[in-house]
């Protein structure tokens, strides 16, 4: 074979190889993107209130979440934005992980590729995490941290579940009301006179006691509180007009100042160990109590109910509110009169960055989900789900579902 022919064959071979590689590259470059990941990877992430964690689990599609308990999981149509806004869904992370506590809630990773950070264990913590995610500030739970350091949560939290209104000023966050809950007061009767009926004045006196005890109807009663930052705690203090510092002093003296919120069992575990004749009380979300009793939420109060723990009837001044619920389990329902009371009823909110609901960077999908009376959260199906979990729809005097007029950064 001549040198020229060999050269030509080498050149031809190279040409074919090069062309083949180029064609392959062309095919690869032209290939359509890979199939989409699960819907959950684009869902808006919510953290915060323990009070509504089970309701929001339902809004994600299933509550209680499968696999964590023997409770029967009920499936719901997931809350989602309109078709015109691409049907975005929500992903809600509990304040209290199943089997865990809000005092040591551990860490969560909310989005693919995101950091592991403290699970916000309350409304206050959830709102703080949301604010930090907006402000590029590191977040850490004020107690029970699993990171023991602040962690950047930018982009990891899209909304917060709040079971109270804003405590402070600021315009970075917008609080959007969507339902109503009642502040209940659990009592444990340890013999003697039953304290099933309580007044605002009696509660104010109890939680102002430096010893953490007061005599009510001839019975010694201990003042208990759930963890700092939890809404049952702050809502009680607001209702009876006692500062957190004072109430903390009382509950600390009684030895029950940081119970897991909305856990009847946590309260029962403490109260059942008291001396005979000594009773105890603790604030709790009525909606959470009812949803647990009705079997639609993770039941953290079964032992308490079995031990006689129940919600007290409340009288505020001359107004008899009665018990927060009517009916019996599994058909307990909100006592509307109680929920509508300005002291013992309170609005539930979805908290979002104000920039998501106004201005150029407003998020149409967020707005479709939460803003306005025609939003997904204010729709009849979503409100029906809220009723299932022991919450009432808003009436005109309580607030307008989907309103964006309330702002506050904490």
Residues in contact with other proteins by the rule CB under 8 A: 2-12, 14-23, 25-26, 28-33, 37, 41, 84-86, 109, 111-116, 133-136, 138, 152, 154-156, 353, 355, 359-365
Distance in Å, CB of 96 to other proteins, minimum: 25
Distance in Å, CB of 20 to other proteins, minimum: 8
Q: Among residues 28 and 276, whose Cβ is nearest to other proteins?
A: 28
> Nearest to residue 126, comparing CAs of 56, 47, 215, 229?
47
Q: How many helices (H) and strands (E) does the chain have?
A: 13, 21
> Nearest to residue 45, comparing CAs of 140, 142, 154?
154
Q: Among residues 47 and 309, whose Cβ is nearest to other proteins?
A: 47
Distance in Å, CB of 362 to other proteins, minimum: 7
Distance in Å, CB of 361 to other proteins, minimum: 5
Q: Among residues 37 and 245, whose Cβ is nearest to other proteins?
A: 37
Q: Among residues 86 and 374, whose Cβ is nearest to other proteins?
A: 86
Distance in Å, CB of 23 to other proteins, minimum: 6
Question: DSSP 3-state assignment of 206?
Answer: helix
Phi, psi torsion values for 32, nearest 5 degrees: -70, 155
> Is the backbone peptide bond immediately before 27 cis, with ω within 30 degrees of 0?
no
174 and 127 in contact (C-beta within 8 Å)? no
Q: Among residues 237 and 367, whose Cβ is nearest to other proteins?
A: 367
User: What value, to the nearest 5°, has the Cα angle with vertex 364 and ends 360 and 369?
Assistant: 140
Contacting residues for 192 by C-beta, under 8 A, at least 6 apart = 218, 219, 277, 279
C-alpha 91 chain-centroid distance: 11
Distance in Å, CB of 40 to other proteins, minimum: 13
Q: Among residues 156 and 385, whose Cβ is nearest to other proteins?
A: 156
Count CB-CB contacts under 10 A for residue 4. 8
């Amino acid at each position: 074979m001549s040198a020229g022919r060999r050269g030509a064959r080498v050149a031809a071979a190279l040409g074919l190889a090069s062309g083949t590689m180029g064609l392959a590259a062309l095919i690869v470059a032209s290939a359509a993107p890979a199939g989409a990941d699960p819907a959950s990877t684009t869902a808006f992430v919510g953290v915060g209130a323990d009070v509504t964690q089970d309701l929001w689990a339902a809004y994600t599609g299933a509550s209680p979440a499968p696999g964590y308990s023997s409770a029967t999981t009920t499936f719901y149509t997931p809350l989602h934005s309109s078709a015109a806004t691409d049907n975005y869904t929500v992903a809600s992370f509990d304040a209290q992980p199943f089997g865990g506590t809000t005092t040591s809630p551990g860490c969560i990773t909310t989005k693919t590729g995101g950091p592991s950070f403290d699970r916000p264990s309350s409304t206050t913590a959830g709102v703080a995490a949301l604010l930090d995610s907006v402000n590029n500030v590191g977040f850490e739970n004020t107690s029970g941290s699993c990171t023991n350091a602040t962690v950047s949560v930018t982009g990891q939290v899209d909304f917060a579940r709040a079971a109270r209104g804003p405590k402070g000023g600021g315009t970075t966050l917008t609080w959007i009301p969507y339902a109503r809950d009642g502040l209940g007061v659990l009592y444990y009767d340890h013999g003697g006179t039953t304290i099933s009926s309580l007044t605002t004045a009696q509660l104010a006196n109890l939680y102002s006691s430096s010893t953490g005890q007061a005599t009510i109807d001839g019975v010694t009663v201990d003042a208990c509180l759930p963890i700092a930052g939890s809404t049952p705690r702050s809502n009680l203090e607001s209702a009876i007009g006692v500062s957190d510092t004072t109430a903390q002093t009382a509950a600390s003296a009684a030895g029950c100042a940081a119970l897991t919120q909305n856990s009847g069992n946590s309260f029962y575990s403490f109260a059942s160990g008291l001396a005979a004749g000594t009773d105890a009380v603790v604030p709790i979300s009525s909606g959470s109590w009812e949803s647990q009793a009705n079997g639609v939420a993770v039941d953290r109060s079964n032992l308490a109910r079995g031990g006689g723990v129940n919600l007290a009837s409340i009288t505020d001044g001359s107004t008899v509110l009665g018990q927060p619920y009517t009916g019996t389990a599994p058909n307990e329902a909100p006592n509307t009169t109680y929920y509508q009371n300005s002291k013992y009823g309170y609005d539930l909110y979805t908290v979002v960055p104000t920039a998501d609901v106004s201005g150029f960077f407003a998020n149409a999908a967020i707005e479709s989900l939460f803003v306005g009376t025609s939003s997904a959260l204010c729709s009849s199906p979503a409100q029906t789900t809220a009723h299932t979990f022991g919450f009432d729809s808003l009436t005109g005097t309580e607030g307008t579902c989907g309103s964006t007029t309330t702002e506050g950064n904490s």
